[in-house]
Structure 1
């Protein structure tokens, strides 16, 4: 299911493990500076993002409110 809500990452808690990139590579990527960033999309695949949220060891991914 596609979602117009945008995922967010609390970079102060992110440990750069890359799980989000592995689970949802169309949504999350490692930028050249070595930080995770969210790709700007018109809509986001909710299932993949929920999987990234569930698997993030730092619990730093969520949905924008």
Structure 2
């Protein structure tokens, strides 16, 4: 059976400045961690259009798409 490839958001923690915009705009997917950087806690928690808006809103462009096989 062929594997299904889906897009999931990822945060580059080395580039994240901890502004919290992503967690404010889409708390279903993003949270702020102990180190005051964002992380993805539920990659499929919101529709793609909403995650794309968050990606576009990041001031340091540290959020991107990755592919995940299932």
Q: Same fold (TM over 0.5)?
A: yes
Q: Which of the pair has more CA radius of gyration?
A: 2
5+ unaligned residues in a row in structure 1: which ranges? none
Q: Name 1:40's counterpart in structure 2.
A: 42
5+ unaligned residues in a row in structure 2: which ranges? 1-5
Q: TM-score, normalised by structure 1?
A: 0.79
Q: Name 1:14's counterpart in structure 2.
A: 16
Q: TM-score, normalised by structure 2?
A: 0.74
- Contact 2:26 2:51 (8 Å CA) reproduced: yes
- Contact 2:28 2:42 (8 Å CA) reproduced: no
Q: Which runs of 4+ in 1 moved over 6 A?
A: none
Deviates more, 1:30-39 or 1:19-28: 30-39
Q: Name 2:3's counterpart in structure 1.
A: none
